[in-house]
Amino acid sequence: MADVLNGSAAQPAVNQPIITQPAGRPVAEQSTSELVQRASEQLSKLVRDELTLAKAELAEKGKHAGIGAGLFGGAGVLAGYGVGALIATLVIVLAIWLPLWAAALIMTVVLFAVAGVLALLGKKQVSRAVPPEPQAAIEGLKADVDEVKQAVKERSRA
């Protein structure tokens, strides 16, 4: 019991239930101060674990948002080149009626097609980051609150 009180007992894994009892002493026999201290320690660990989960989830979503923004930037650059090529094509078409314009027009179409593909890929990456809140962490907290409520109800019946 001294290990639990001074905090040197091994911490339970994140997936284990919140309500545990030390070896050799049932929860019903523990004093209120011991139960409050254990609850405080477990709550602190739970909050730290949930914050770690939220941080990891937000980092993953931030990564997808960054990739999507980069792809949108690439699409913008290529669209700018496409506008330049289109202008050059129009100049060539108006200045001389030679097949040179066909090559410039083909290049313009290719640049815009690549820009469209990059824009679609960027949209896909950004949509993977929405919504920006850590849903798994929120669901975990709700489950933890429900489990604590259930344990309190069971304890009050005893």
Has residue 61 been placed in a domain? no
Residues in the chain: 158
Closest CA to 140 of 15, 12, 11, 21: 15
Has residue 82 been placed in a domain? yes
Give the residue-averaged pLDDT of 10-20. Answer: 50
Count of structural domains, the chain: 1
Q: How far apart are CA 62 and CA 149, in angstroms?
A: 34
Has residue 104 been placed in a domain? yes
**pTM, 2 dp:** 0.39
For the chain, percent helix, then strand, then coil, each to nearest 5? 80, 0, 20
Instruction: Give the domain range for residue 85.
Output: 77-130
Between 14 and 78, whose confidence is greater? 78
Give the residue-averaged pLDDT of 53-70. Answer: 85
Has residue 116 been placed in a domain? yes
Has residue 60 been placed in a domain? no
Encode pLDDT of 97-114 as tens digits: 667 767 677 777 877 888
Has residue 137 been placed in a domain? no
Has residue 33 been placed in a domain? no
Has residue 81 been placed in a domain? yes
